Amino acid sequence: MGFTAADRIKEIAIIIITIIVIIAVWRFRSRRKPLSDTGCRQNYTRLRALFDTVVEDHDQFGMVYAYVEDTSGTGGILSSTPFVYMSYAVGFNAIANELVLLRIKVDWSGHGDPLCLTNVGVESAWLKQASDLIKIGIQDARLPKQFIELHIPWQISQDSDGEVLQIKQNDEANQFLEFFNKQFSK
């Protein structure tokens, strides 16, 4: 007695379901646990130290963590997020009317080159405030895609996928909000 086509289809379906279950269990077990306020503040301190080593005149800048949701790079069918996150340390200097964008890797394995923007060359800039974060958009020819939308959270204590930095920056985010409203919004 041989296998029928229906038996083969059932066998393939069982294999596919088994693979999906294995991936789901693996993803569930690899999720990061929430950080305490102290752990989140330690991440902020570590980010600030990285920023200070890369940016000249770093003591003239306030700094916040921000992330970008890039919807052009979808993670695929097995990804838990429909977009790719990119993280930044964002420096702000009210005296020089300057922003510094420093792309970082969330696992602390590296960073990009700092990009300095002044409000003089910015074509447009806007800010939207929500209960849990500040969203800013900047349109400027000096940016890689001529536009960036940054999300600046007051606090992220839980990110199960490890896509963004768990951080607490309430005072710094409020300082940034004041700076951007006065110096950059157009």
pLDDT per position in the chain (186 positions), as tens? 567 888 888 888 888 888 887 776 655 554 556 778 898 999 999 999 999 999 999 999 999 999 998 766 554 444 555 567 899 999 999 999 999 999 999 888 999 999 999 988 889 999 999 989 999 999 999 888 899 999 999 998 877 677 888 999 999 999 999 999 998 886
What token pair was written down for 12? Answer: 């393939």
pLDDT of residue 11: 86
81: three-class secondary structure by DSSP = coil
Residue 50 CB partners (closer than 8 Å, separation 6+) = 89, 102, 104, 108, 111
DSSP secondary structure letter of residue 34: P
pTM of the model: 0.77
Which ranges of 30-65 does DSSP label H, i.e. alpha helix?
37-54
pLDDT of residue 72: 60
CA 27, chain centre distance (Å) = 20
Distances (CA, A) of 98 to 103, 105, 134, 144, 170: 16, 23, 18, 18, 21
pLDDT of residue 83: 64
Distances (CA, A) of 87 to 16, 90, 91, 117, 139: 34, 10, 13, 17, 18
**What are the beta bridge partners of residue 31?**
none
pLDDT of residue 27: 58
Residues 106-126 have pLDDT tens digits of 888 999 999 999 988 889 999
What token pair was written down for 169? Answer: 């920056």
What token pair was written down for 129? Answer: 């405030």
